[in-house]
Structure 1
Amino acid sequence: MSITTMDKWAELRTAYQVATLGTVSAAADRLGFHRATVNRHIDVLEAELGGRIFIRHARGYTLTELGEDVLRVAQKTHEMTNDLAGRIAGSKAAVTGEIKLTILAPFAKLLMGAIANFRVNNPKCQVQIDASENLARLEYGEAHIALRAGARPEHPDYVVASFGDIGFNLYAHEKYISQNGLPKDTSELHNHQFIAPPPNDSRLPFAQWIRDNIPLDRVALSSRNVEVNIAAIGAGIGLGFLPDHEAEASQGFHPVLPSNPDWTVPFWLVTHVDLHRTEKVQAMLKSIKDRQNPS
């Protein structure tokens, strides 16, 4: 994207409205422009970028791949401009619009209390959660806040804060225990059935321990999907690893082995520097912090 494109604020705003509303007429009404002005703004922006932003068809406008990138930039600009306008006006009006969080599905419940508090204080702001395993690109506006596991993110434009450590352990459900009992120690593991991720899945902190201690022929069920494995452990199919918070929040799970610091994963709250200070992001971060450290 050309550096001089960043001077095209009016054109970016117009493109954002066309992309959001789908037609030139709707964008013109929203902006108070003539249709010709909207078309001219699009032409100027496409000439600046050297490619098409939209594909024109009978029902309206559809974004090209280049247009998707432009929309992300325009959306961030739109949010920051609205936030600045509110601050200049000194308004304490309710936060509105949408705030998007990205997190792995098994850990979403860690944020639900904070989201509930956020919604009480900001009922006009809709929360959207992306539970995909794909890392959202915050620099493209794909999410406002990300909860990430593992090594501390090092992107130079990310604002990173510790969320805390999440521990795992080997658990058995009472359904399994009633039929098979529990191993006294690791020497008896070969007598039991297990739920485990695929052997080549190295993302998890206990993956190496599984490879070293659990024979493949004792794995009753294997899935890369953590939620599937949790359901299988809860059904009593075998022993398996769970996040400690998941076991504590559910009934019937019992730890099999002593806690192991090697099975602990650090989690991070991540925002992009451009949106970190916006009202909605600060409001959600405050809700998360208050939930972690209740007064």
Structure 2
Amino acid sequence: MSIGNMDKWAELRTAYQVAKLGTVSAAAEALGYHRATVNRHIDVLEAEIGTRIFIRHARGYALTEVGEDVLRVAQKTESLIDDLAGRVQGGKTQIDGEIKLTILAPFAGLLMSSIADFRVQNPQCTVVIDASEDLARLEYGEAHIALRAGAKPDHPDYVVSSFGQIGFNLYAHDSYVQRHGLPTGVDDLSGHKFVVPQTIGRGLPVNPWINDHVQADMIAMSSRDIWVIIEAIAAGVGMGFIGDHEAASRGKFSAVLPPNKEWTVPTWLVTHVDLHRTQKVQAMLACLKSTSLKA
């Protein structure tokens, strides 16, 4: 694959639109091109790269593995060009298009008030959230901003700032307490039921405690999905670990155990140096930092 001297930016932009919209017709309409022009741009780009970036099928175009990499480059390039265009137009104040954030699902609630503020200020910009354990590669433009937990990211091209500390605890909802009572402590768990993640051993800092104290016959329900777990705990199915911020925002939760520093993790806002200064990213960061947690 030869891409070292590739200068086909128009073709790259066309391929990006085809990948994003799924068909040549939709891409042609979005770009104001004829269908033949779109097809020619794809042929030229694939010839330049030396391999296929699309698989043609009856319903449209699907990306190959190489095409996925091309798309990431195009996404990042489009963000930079759009930001440059705004600056050239004299400090464009209206932010549009998409801004993508990647987070771990348990922390989604921390961002929603900030996202609401951002949307009020920038109603033409769509916020896309990827709540996944997979860490997006910011250097490939997979996301504009990442909220990460744990050790401070040390990638040389990342710009990292503290978002504060997030604590977890074992909580029981009022509906559970009314039926089963509240344990007096770690030595009073006999007879109580728990809602736990299906996969224990990695991820949240509370997992070792669950391994040590929750026996199989104490589990009322388990799930791979954090939102299912939270809803089950809120319904009184059993006690379970959730973030202190989640319990406070929902109300009617009682902490079962004293606060534990080992169940507190630092969080970080992460951007790539190439996109960090863009108008879109700076606007979102300003909203996020205005509601960040106390360190």
User: What TM-score, normalized by structure 1, do the two folds share?
Assistant: 0.87
Q: Give, in angstroms, the shift of residue 259 of structure 1.
A: 0.2
Unaligned 5+ runs, structure 2: none
Q: Measure, in 2, the Cα distance between the counterparts of 1:251 and 1:289.
A: 24
Q: Measure, in 1, the Cα distance between the counterparts of 2:11 and 2:196.
A: 53
Q: Give, in angstroms, the shift of residue 246 of structure 1.
A: 1.0
Task: Indicate the residue corresponding to 1:147 in structure 2.
Answer: 147
Q: Does the 8 Å contact 1:196/1:219 carry over to 2?
A: yes
Q: Does 1:115 align with 2:112?
A: no
1:95-143 CA-partner distances (Å, limit 9, x unpaired) = 0111111223332121111111111111111111122333222222222
The structure-2 alpha-carbon separation of the partners of 1:231 and 1:54, relative to structure 1 and needing over 3 Å to count, comes to closer
Q: Does 1:165 align with 2:165?
A: yes
Aligned length: 294
1:142-170 CA-partner distances (Å, limit 9, x unpaired) = 22112122222233322222111110111
Choose 77-86 or 17-26, whichever is displaced more: 17-26
Q: Measure, in 2, the Cα distance between the counterparts of 1:60 and 1:221.
A: 42
Task: Indicate the residue corresponding to 2:93 in structure 1.
Answer: 93
The structure-2 alpha-carbon separation of the partners of 1:24 and 1:238, relative to structure 1 and needing over 3 Å to count, comes to closer
Task: Indicate the residue corresponding to 1:73 in structure 2.
Answer: 73
Q: Give, in angstroms, the shift of residue 248 of structure 1.
A: 0.8
Q: Give, in angstroms, the shift of residue 245 of structure 1.
A: 0.7
Task: Indicate the residue corresponding to 1:213 in structure 2.
Answer: 213
Q: Give, in angstroms, the shift of residue 60 of structure 1.
A: 5.4
Output aligned runs, 1:165-244, within 5 Å: 165-198=165-198, 200-244=200-244
Q: Give, in angstroms, the shift of residue 44 of structure 1.
A: 3.3
Task: Indicate the residue corresponding to 1:14 in structure 2.
Answer: 14
The structure-2 alpha-carbon separation of the partners of 1:219 and 1:64, relative to structure 1 and needing over 3 Å to count, comes to closer
Identical-residue share of aligned pairs (%): 67
Q: Give, in angstroms, the shift of residue 17 of structure 1.
A: 3.9
Choose 34-43 or 75-84, whichever is displaced more: 34-43
Q: Does the 8 Å contact 1:201/1:224 carry over to 2?
A: no
Q: Does 1:132 align with 2:146?
A: no
Q: Does the 8 Å contact 2:159/2:271 carry over to 1?
A: yes
User: What TM-score, normalized by structure 2, do the two folds share?
Assistant: 0.87
Q: Does the 8 Å contact 2:201/2:208 carry over to 1?
A: no
Q: Measure, in 2, the Cα distance between the counterparts of 1:71 and 1:132.
A: 20
AA in 2 matched with 1:102 = T
Q: Measure, in 2, the Cα distance between the counterparts of 1:87 and 1:102.
A: 26
CA RMSD, Structure 1 to Structure 2 (Å)? 2.7
Q: Does the 8 Å contact 2:171/2:256 carry over to 1?
A: yes
Choose 257-266 or 201-210, whichever is displaced more: 201-210
Q: Measure, in 2, the Cα distance between the counterparts of 1:193 and 1:22.
A: 48
Q: Measure, in 1, the Cα distance between the counterparts of 2:36 and 2:64.
A: 21
Choose 257-266 or 56-65, whichever is displaced more: 56-65
Q: Give, in angstroms, the shift of residue 243 of structure 1.
A: 0.6
AA in 2 matched with 1:118 = F
Q: Measure, in 1, the Cα distance between the counterparts of 2:217 and 2:62.
A: 52
Q: Measure, in 2, the Cα distance between the counterparts of 1:169 and 1:158.
A: 31
Task: Indicate the residue corresponding to 1:257 in structure 2.
Answer: 257
Choose 1-10 or 199-208, whichever is displaced more: 1-10
Q: Give, in angstroms, the shift of residue 178 of structure 1.
A: 2.0
Choose 39-48 or 114-123, whichever is displaced more: 39-48
The structure-2 alpha-carbon separation of the partners of 1:236 and 1:17, relative to structure 1 and needing over 3 Å to count, comes to closer
AA in 1 matched with 2:160 = V
Q: Give, in angstroms, the shift of residue 56 of structure 1.
A: 4.4
Choose 180-189 or 37-46, whichever is displaced more: 37-46
What SS does the corresponding residue of 2:111 show, helix, strand or coil? Answer: helix
AA in 1 matched with 2:181 = G
Q: Measure, in 2, the Cα distance between the counterparts of 1:224 and 1:90.
A: 49
AA in 1 matched with 2:222 = S
Q: Give, in angstroms, the shift of residue 16 of structure 1.
A: 2.7
Q: Does the 8 Å contact 2:200/2:211 carry over to 1?
A: no
AA in 2 matched with 1:213 = H
What SS does the corresponding residue of 1:102 show, helix, strand or coil? Answer: strand
Q: Does the 8 Å contact 1:5/1:48 carry over to 2?
A: no
Q: Measure, in 1, the Cα distance between the counterparts of 2:57 and 2:225.
A: 40
